[in-house]
Amino acid sequence: MAGTSPEYLVMLKWFFSQSESSWVVALVTAGALPGCMMGHYLAETLGRKKTIFVSALPAFVAGTIILLASVSWLLFIARFLQGCSTGIIAVVTMIYITEIADKDIRGALGMIVQVMNNQGSLLMYCVGPFVSYRVLSSLIMAIPVVYVAACLWIPESPYYHLKDGRVESARKEFMVLKGTNDEKWADEQLEVVRAHVQQSMENKTTVKELFTNMRYRKAVYIIAGLKVLQYMTGALAIQSYLEMIFMESSSISGRSASIIYGVGGATGAQAQGVNSGGRKNGQTRQDYYFFGSLLMSSRCAPSALDSNTYVPTCQYHQKRVLAALLADRLGRRILMLISSLGVGMSLTLVGAYFFTKNFVMANESTLNAIKFLPLAGIIGFNILYAIGIGNIPYVMQAELFPINVKAAASSAATMSACVFSFTVAKCYQGVKDAFGHYTVFWSYATVAYLGIFFVYFCVPETKGKTLEEVQDNLQAERYEAETERLNATTAEVENESEKK
């Protein structure tokens, strides 16, 4: 709900000029940057659970300001505070989920975070048009209280205790998460985790360490590439300018029907996604704890302003649920390959329509024959983006880094996402005016096509692997590469010696 949702239409009308209203959108991203840094520090010092609680404070204060404010500058402060809260949550949520979840359900649980993120937008679409500004503002203020209450009973991550040497506390939380009283089995499993954590903690836990230590170099490259693919394909810009896109091509109507369609589809699919398939006792218990942490994610969803966005947005909710179902069945790589190809093709179709209209200057009959392309392309983009590159990078950024730099890595990844999002949204109008609408979409499509090669050659599969196995595989590849370079150097030296 921290995004630009229907209640802000009233806010914009009451308090802001058109120039000021752009800051209402931008200040959330601006606030998320310091929020990411705070999330990194708090997750390492206070722990994952307490950081969740702290994130509610700026959100509650922001909701109170929105409810009571009568001048514009107070609302600017409120939006900045909402961004801070969102940044903290974005950092700590994926760390917590990947650390408590079993390998068989880690991908699905991690991606449902994004499903709940969008449920916040969907809630605004369902409630916003039918209640007063004050009622809706009260709802925003109440949500942080609700998610703190829901998270009171979730356990702390065992990894957090182990990194500080609190083995007994880690064992207690581990047994709660796994739903077992078998201390012997718990000690055996925890010993494997402890050994990897201890090995990781031998290195420093700073951002400098993240970018200078060769041990993390491949993971940094992978996540950086995935973040470029995730955000530079234009998701935020398309959502923000969707009204303009359809005004220049076609139109969508039927807001109420779209809301009902979105609520029914998203809710039913989510229930199926969380409960589908067999669950071991420990996995079911993890689902219960995870549900509490989901409530904090559902409140921070950016969304678009116009009724023309409702059909694509509701479909986006549904497809994110579909992605959660597929993540641990098909694997991360195959979903991202399909997603990148589909996103590229969808954006190419949209660009082709605007190229025909604005560059070729086709006649009206020709345009009428292909007027379905923008709608088909946007819907295809929403579906294919959500099942892969729109969600999986969030999961992988928490899977690929060891415990000692995980908070720093998650913070850096989220901050880069803020920068990419701002760049894409800010440059959209300028590129469109200078080079044409088709250039915008074909530029996004080019990024998606390049992403196919990046995913195929650079991104490892983490499906069905524990966090320890993921780290072992990454380090094994590094050691193999170093061994090959060493052998090559040795061979060159020997050849030089024989010549002499």
Dump pLDDT digits (tens) for 377-388. 888 888 888 788
CA distance 88 to 41: 10
Q: What is the mean pLDDT of the chain?
A: 75
Interhelix angle 467-499/183-201, rounded to 10 degrees, is: 40
Q: Are 189 and 167 in contact (CB under 8 A)?
A: no
- Domain that residue 471 falls in: 215-276+313-478
Report the CATH number at residue 362: 1.20.1250.20
What is the pLDDT, as a whole number, of residue 233?
Answer: 94
What is the pLDDT, as a whole number, of residue 277?
Answer: 39
Q: Are 283 and 389 in contact (CB under 8 A)?
A: no
Mean pLDDT over residues 427-442, rounded?
A: 89
In a domain, 44, yes or no: no
Residue from 240, 200, 218, 27 nearest 99 by CA:
200
In a domain, 259, yes or no: yes
**At 242, is the pLDDT very low, low, confident or very high (cuts 50, 70, 90)?**
confident
The helix (H) or strand (E) run that includes residue 66 is helix 48-68
In a domain, 354, yes or no: yes
CA distance 73 to 92: 29
pLDDT by residue (tens digit) across 130-186?
Answer: 777 788 788 888 888 988 998 888 899 998 888 888 889 889 998 888 888 888 888
Mean pLDDT over residues 360-376, rounded?
A: 84
Residue from 304, 415, 407, 410 nearest 31 by CA:
415
Please give the tally of structural domains in the chain. 1
Of these ranges, 235-249, 278-292, 481-495, the one predicted with the greatest mean pLDDT is 235-249
Per the model's pLDDT, the better-predicted residue between 238 and 346 turns out to be 346
What is the pLDDT, as a whole number, of residue 487?
Answer: 65
pLDDT by residue (tens digit) across 113-138?
Answer: 667 766 776 676 677 667 777 887 88
Q: Quick check: 268 pLDDT over 50?
A: no
In a domain, 440, yes or no: yes
What is the pLDDT, as a whole number, of residue 91?
Answer: 83
Q: How far is CA 387 from the centre of its chain?
A: 12
What is the pLDDT, as a whole number, of residue 468?
Answer: 76
Mean pLDDT over residues 226-255, rounded?
A: 75
pLDDT by residue (tens digit) across 66-82?
Answer: 888 777 788 889 888 98
What is the pLDDT, as a whole number, of residue 247?
Answer: 72
CA distance 335 to 386: 10
Q: Are 271 and 78 in contact (CB under 8 A)?
A: no
In a domain, 425, yes or no: yes
Q: Quick check: 1 pLDDT over 50?
A: no
Of these ranges, 98-102, 205-209, 484-488, the one predicted with the greatest mean pLDDT is 98-102
What value does the CA radius of gyration of the chain take, rounded to a whole number of Å?
Answer: 24
CA distance 470 to 87: 26
Q: Are 373 and 245 in contact (CB under 8 A)?
A: no
CA distance 1 to 10: 15
Phi-psi region of 258 (alpha: psi -120 to 50; beta: other; left: phi over 0): alpha
In a domain, 455, yes or no: yes
Q: How far is CA 163 from the centre of its chain?
A: 26
Share of the chain above pLDDT 70, in %: 69
CA distance 478 to 475: 5
What is the pLDDT, as a whole number, of residue 22?
Answer: 58
In a domain, 263, yes or no: yes
In a domain, 233, yes or no: yes
For 213-218, which contacts have Cβ atoms below 8 Å and span 24 or more sequence positions? 214/478, 215/475, 215/478, 216/401, 216/402, 216/405, 216/409, 217/478, 218/474, 218/477, 218/478
Q: Are 114 and 392 in contact (CB under 8 A)?
A: no
